[in-house]
Amino acid sequence: MTPGPGMVGGAAAARPRRLMRTAGLSVIWLVLLLFIVYPLLILLSRAFFDGGHLTFDALFATLKSPSSLRALGNSLLLALMVGVVGTLVGLLFAFTVDRARLGSRTARLIDALTFLPLISPPFTTSIAFVFSFGPRGLITHDLLGLKNAQMYGLTSTFAAETLTYFPIAYLALRPMLASISSNFEEASFSLGGSRWHAFRTVTLPLIIPALANAFLLLFGCSLADFATPLILAGSDFSVLPTEAYLQITGMFDLKSGAILSLLLLVPAGLVFYAQERFVAGRSYVTVTGKAATATERNSVSSSARIALLTFCILTVALILYFYALLFYASVVLAFGANYTLTLEHYRVIFTEGLPAIKDTLFVAAVGMPLGGLYGILVGYLVGRTKFVGRRAMELISMLNYALPGTIVGIAYLLAFNDKPLALTGTATILIACYIFRYSPTGIRTTIALLQQIDKILEEDSASLRANSFVTFRRVMLPLILPAFFAGLGVVFIRSMTAISATIFLVSINWSLITVKILENMTEVALGPAAAFSVFVIVVVLVVTGLLNTVLRRMTAPSLRVSRIGT
Amino acid sequence: MTTPDATRVEANDRSRSSKLSRRGVLLGALASPLVFRQARAADSLKAYSIWPENYARPMLEAFEKSTGIHVNFIRFSSGEALARLIAEKGNPQVDVLFGGPVETFTAGEAQGIFEAYTPPSAAELPKRFKSTQGMWTAIADDPLVFMTNTKFLQEHNLKAPASWDDLLNPAYKGMLQMADARTSGTAVTRIFSILQVNNRNEDAGFAYMKKLRQNIQAYTKSGGGGTVPVGLGQAAGGIFFIVDALFTRQKGYDVQISFPKEGIGSAAECIGLVKGNKNTAAAKKLIDWATSADMQSLLAPAKINFLPANPKVAPDPGLVSVLKSANIIEIDDSWAGKNRKRIVDRWVAEVLNAG
């Protein structure tokens, strides 16, 4: 930590402080309007204006169509299942790692392995499912001897999405659990309550904001995911994002594609609203200025510990198996046909695929710090300061995340193709798309963490005449650093792995690995697709590993200071 | 605090001389580096390719070798390429649309994304290989085939399907994969084939498709999407372009290729000049080259199983022998073009959503 710019006298500092905040707010509003509101308005005008006239005919036609309504119902069902089960699995993992007396090496191993689905390019879980389940699946046919197993539909889409997204819940919940001193559980336990009672009455209420947050994130992910249903949903279980995608890419029907995806906004908005209602008005302060001595954590009984561990190990084993399969597919000539070992696929990706690799790394590296920063700034402004339009800012910042990527992509394409801001064909449009689409994780995590931080800490700092920037930097920043790194990580990971929005934004000049993967999948070229996926996973593992190391180095002392020091 | 060095970017902090940027906080960079790639100074052009990279790349590299013109290309499926070209009409990003079934080109022609250019070879081509307005010209021909998993056939005591009705066999229930007509040119060609063998009696054709729907496991986004599942035995079979089916077999998957005795359609693979193109001379050279024997004689040596469109090029003998038993019927492209949207809409309503 470098020393701050110094503390300035209160009266003299008031004006620059206000100026600075106004400037910061203006910048944030400007980018929000430019990269979220403007493209959507362009898209809406395409959807509802016909030759200069406002018309809702297309909307009514969509609402009347039973297949659209069925797709909406399916999407909601799927998102609800993934949200609930994914959050639960994430909670179990977080609790196991934080409370079940795991060695730090085991914990780190679980961390690394649960990361895998999160850092994989789209289609990897789906492809592993195609290999494993189904009439000739390695698991259903070869292992279990089932003859007529079907693998397309709700069940496999749900399972694949849950496995892909639960680490997001884990990521969001673990810092929260870690920040709750187990002394509270301990207190309840030593007062004669059962461990379960302690968890239910002490820990659970404290993590409700985080749970709601995790659920919202997963619900949104599933609602917007088009890659998994594209491969696994089959023809009898249609969901909205895939329908909208097919409508736009296939029928060249921007209008009804846009309208289909606008239907998604309704449930996304409702969940958001419910979460606010549900969470509001409770106190979750645990990180206070008062000292809390850490004690040996003893929150779970031995049998619960074994059950939790077994569950985590089984899940992790399944994930490991999927990725072993993926790796195997990348080093054989043709999976399922010719198992001769080869490095040919890697030669292909590092020669023909090299431009895409370079472009992706550049986009991810630029987007990561910008996205992380944007995440905590918006999170801090929304979660900790008061200004007119605060709620609007919060909502708008979530929009690109809640909307299916297809719509965001098409909106960007339409908005930035012409003057005044002709960005198509540049890296900027890709970077902007990733930042504004994937920073909400950082924003939500920041807000959730802030809800746990006692405001008094901040007031102390302010009463010591530190200006708000100093307060933010010296007091808040160390506390919300985990959120910053979560945001950083997610933007980087998504820049390496997401496809739904950017498939419309890649250009001759700037291509992306994920688009190459999709392309290879449709070309009967599973080998290069698998090799690309393995490469992405390795890069992301290395980068997130580095981030975690940096985070540990940086937060350990400062958190200790702010927890203990008064 | 500092941000990780590895990710430091060239921040454009013209507006922020404040403490913020001094402290390495990259707020100024939120204004974003407007990164443009240097355009190639040398002779070059840009193209969207609907042909997969492993078909397009060897061709376009050969073009560069023989003319010195570099083709900067990116691959999209037909629906995506078309949606892009339409969206980019005001600010076209490419000069040429390379490869892809004729129905994509007729749809694009209706959207006004092409500029007329008739290459010299067009004179030698039959009518179905060129647009009357000169908006596109064929570079290859690609018949549809039935492709089935050999092991599946053996286990169910079936012969490779030799009639459209063979695909209705309950043994295939929930086991066929074929492309979705919303995204795939393969699917549209398939549907017009079915209508054609039913003498364009649409009700009869749709009645057949609705029956076939019972045996469908999944409709895939791209035309070749079902080839690997069929190769693996996860699906029993499907209807694909011959180029994808033979490629699956070349990869080593044990699959059968067969044809319905009633006949099956074929799609011309085309090339077209994009309206508003910026490298006209180079683009026209590519179109001349691709429509002539110069390119099409390279298909067979590269093991790319398209039939040449140019009559001067003899098709690969191996391909000819596969097609020996085939009854390839002609689809009336102008009728298909005019009715495409209506037929696809009807397919979505009556077949796809009937499941």
CB contact under 8 A, A414 and B87: yes
Indicate if the pLDDT at residue B21 is higher than 80: no
Minimal C-alpha gap between A183 and chain B (Å):
31
Compare all CA atoms of chain A with the CA of B188 and give the residue at the minimum distance.
A250
The dihedral region occupied by B100, where left means phi > 0, alpha psi between -120 and 50, and beta the remainder, is left
- Which of the 8 DSSP states describes residue B78? H
| Residue B33 within any structural domain of the chain | no
A288 token code pair: 């206070």
Q: Quick check: B217 and A554 CB within 8 A?
A: no
Q: Which residues in chain B are contacts of A477 at CB distance < 8 A?
A: 1
Q: Kindly state the average pLDDT of the residues B287-300.
A: 96
Q: Are both B136 and B279 inside the same structural domain?
A: yes
Domain containing A141: what range? Answer: 20-52+66-290+302-564
Q: Which of A19, A11, A21, A30 is nearest to A471 (CA)?
A: A21
Whether residue A528 lies inside any domain: the answer is yes
pLDDT in tens, A457-466: 666 666 666 6
Q: How far apart are CA A333 and CA A346, in angstroms?
A: 11
Which chain B residues have a beta carbon less than 8 Å from that of A505?
none
Find where tokens 């390839």 sit: B328
Is the pLDDT at A289 greater than 50, yes or no?
Answer: no
The partner residue sitting opposite A337, judged by closest CB among B32, B52, B251, is: B251
Tell me which residue of A201, A195, A215 sits closest to A100, measured CA to CA: A195
Contact A370 B30 (CB under 8 A): yes
Phi, psi of A97 (to 5 degrees): -70, -40
pLDDT tier for residue B2 given thresholds of 50, 70 and 90: very low
- Best to test chain B binding among A152, A417, A513, A523 (most B CBs inside 10 Å): A523
What residues in B contact A229, CB-CB < 8 Å? none
Smallest CA–CA distance, residue A43 to chain B, in Å, is 12
Pairing of strands B216-220, B266-274: unpaired
**Closest residue of A to B90, CA-based?**
A418
Residues B192 and B215 occupy one common structural domain: yes
Let me know if residue B1 belongs to a domain.
no
pLDDT at residue B8, as a whole number = 31
**End-to-end C-alpha distance for chain A, whole angstroms:** 19
- The verdict on residue A12 lying in a domain is no
Q: What are phi and psi of A53, to 5 degrees?
A: -110, 140
Close Cβ partners of B104 (under 8 Å, ≥ 6 residues apart): B50, B78, B79, B81, B82, B185, B270
Is residue B310 assigned to a domain? yes
Nearest CA-CA distance, residue B123 and chain A, Å: 32
Mean pLDDT value of segment A76-100:
91
Least confident piece of the model among A165-179, A187-201, B82-96, B305-319: A187-201
In whole angstroms, what is the distance from residue B72 CA to residue B51 CA?
A: 14
Q: Can you say whether the dihedral through the CA atoms of A130, A134, A135, A139 is positive or negative?
A: positive
What's the token pair of residue A383? 């979660």
B232 and A131 within 8 Å at the Cβ level: the answer is yes
Q: Which helix (H) or strand (E) holds B139?
A: strand B137-149
Band of the pLDDT at B22, cuts 50, 70, 90? very low
Q: What is the pLDDT of residue B38?
A: 39
Mean pLDDT, residues B24-31 taken together = 33
Q: Which residues of B touch A151 (CB under 8 A)?
A: 234
Beta-bridge partner residues of B44: B70
Distance CA A327, CA B252 (A): 20
Q: Where do we find the tokens 């789209």?
A: A122
Contact yes or no for A547 and B86 at CB 8 A: no
User: A369 and B222: CB-CB below 8 Å?
Assistant: no
A with B: how many residue pairs have Cβ under 8 Å apart?
197
Whether B328 has a pLDDT exceeding 90, the answer reads yes
Q: What CATH number did the domain enclosing B336 receive? A: 3.40.190.10
DSSP B207: H
- Same-domain check for residues B130 and B273: yes
Percent of chain B with pLDDT over 70: 88
Q: How far is it, in rounded angstroms, from Cα B283 to Cα B313?
A: 23
Spell out the residues 6+ positions from residue A70 whose beta carbon is closer than 8 angstroms to its own: A238
Give the separation between CA B260 and CA A427, rounded to whole angstroms: 49
CA pair distance B27, B301, nearest whole angstrom: 55
The answer to whether residue B178 scores a pLDDT higher than 80 is: yes
B298 and B343 both lie in a single domain: no
- How does residue A435 score in pLDDT terms, banded at 50, 70 and 90? very high
Q: Are residues B339 and B294 in the same domain?
A: no
Inter-chain CB proximity B234 and A137 less than 8 Å: yes
The widest CA-to-CA distance across chain B, in whole angstroms, is: 78
**Residues A173 and A91 sit within 8 Å (Cβ to Cβ):** yes
Determine the Cα–Cα distance for residues A251 and A201; give it in Å rounded to an integer.
53
Under the banding of pLDDT at 50, 70 and 90, the label for residue B224 is confident
Contacts of B30 (CB under 8 A, 6+ apart): A27, A31, A370, A373, A374
Residue A6, domain member (yes or no): no
Min Cα separation A525/chain B (Å): 9
Distance from CA of A96 to the nearest CA of B (A): 30
pLDDT at B69 > cutoff 80: yes
B152/B123 same-domain check: no
Q: How far is CA B285 from CA A504, B120, B288, in A?
A: 28, 11, 5
Would you call A374 and B30 a contact, using CB atoms and an 8 Å cutoff?
A: yes
Residue of B nearest to A34 (CA): B31
pLDDT of residue B30: 33
Angle of CA points A36, A478, A286, to nearest 5°? 95
Instruction: For residue B237, list its beta bridge partners.
Output: B148, B176
List, in order, residues 6 or more apart from A301 with CB less than 8 Å away.
Answer: A195
Is-contact A439 A491, C-beta < 8 A?
yes
Q: Assess whether B339 and B261 both reside in one domain.
A: yes
The pLDDT of residue A31 is 93
Q: Which residue is listed with tokens 């250009």?
A: A507
Interface test with A, best of B53, B57, B209 (most A CBs within 10 A): B53
A349 has pLDDT over 80 = yes
Predicted pLDDT of residue A290 = 41
Q: Which chain B residue has its CA at the smallest distance from A553's CA?
A: B1
Q: Give the count of domains, chain A.
A: 1
Judge: A150–B174 Cβ closer than 8 Å, yes or no: yes
- Picking from A501, A527, A478, the residue whose alpha carbon sits closest to that of residue A36 is A501
Identify the pLDDT of residue A467. Answer: 66
pLDDT at A560: 37
User: What is the domain range of residue B283?
Assistant: 44-141+268-321
CA distance B294 to chain A (A): 24
Residues B256, B350 share a domain = yes
Whether A336 sits inside 8 A of B53 (CB atoms) is no
- Nearest-Cα residue of chain B relative to residue A250: B183
B333 & B226 share domain? yes
In a domain, A15, yes or no: no
Nearest by CB to residue B233, choosing from A136, A151, A248, is A136
The 10s digit of each residue's pLDDT in A538-548 is: 998 899 888 88
Closest CA to A200 of A116, A70, A96, A299: A299
**Would you give the DSSP letter of residue B241?**
E
Strand B96-101 and strand B70-75: the pairing is: unpaired
CB–CB contact B244 A524 (8 Å): yes
Residues 6+ apart with CB under 8 A from A28: A374, A377, A378, A381, A393
Distance of residue B275 Cα from the nearest chain A Cα, in angstroms: 16
Contacts of A134 in chain B (CB under 8 A): 229, 234
Cβ-based contacts of B93 with chain A (< 8 Å): 424-425, 507-508
Let me know if residue A447 belongs to a domain. Answer: yes
A247, A481, A522 ranked by CB distance to B225: nearest: A522
ipTM of this model? 0.75
- Asked if residue B115 and residue B255 are part of one domain, the reply reads no
Cβ(B114)–Cβ(B272) below 8 Å: yes
pLDDT given at position B32: 34
Residue B87: closest C-alpha in chain A: A414
- Sort out which chain A residues have CB atoms less than 8 A from B109's CB and list them: none
Chain B interface mutation, best of A522, A543, A554, highest count of B Cβ atoms under 10 Å: A522
Predicted confidence (pLDDT) at residue A561 exceeds the cutoff of 50: no
Residues of B in contact with A405 (CB under 8 A): none
A279 neighbors A216 (Cβ within 8 angstroms) = no
Q: How far apart (Å, rounded) are the C-alpha atoms in residues B9 and A362?
A: 10
Residue A32 pLDDT? 94
Instruction: Look at residue A45 and tell me if it is in a domain.
Output: yes
Count of structural domains within chain B: 2
* CA–CA min distance A200, chain B (Å): 38
What's the CATH code of the domain at A365?
1.10.3720.10
Who has greater pLDDT, A306 or A4? A306
Distance from the Cα of residue A295 to its chain's centroid = 32
Residues B211 and B344 occupy one common structural domain: yes
Considering the domain architecture, whether residues B169 and B190 belong to the same structural domain is answered as yes
Residue B1 has pLDDT above 50, yes or no: no
Question: Is A508–B93 a contact, with Cβ atoms under 8 angstroms apart?
Answer: yes
Position A288 scores a pLDDT of: 42
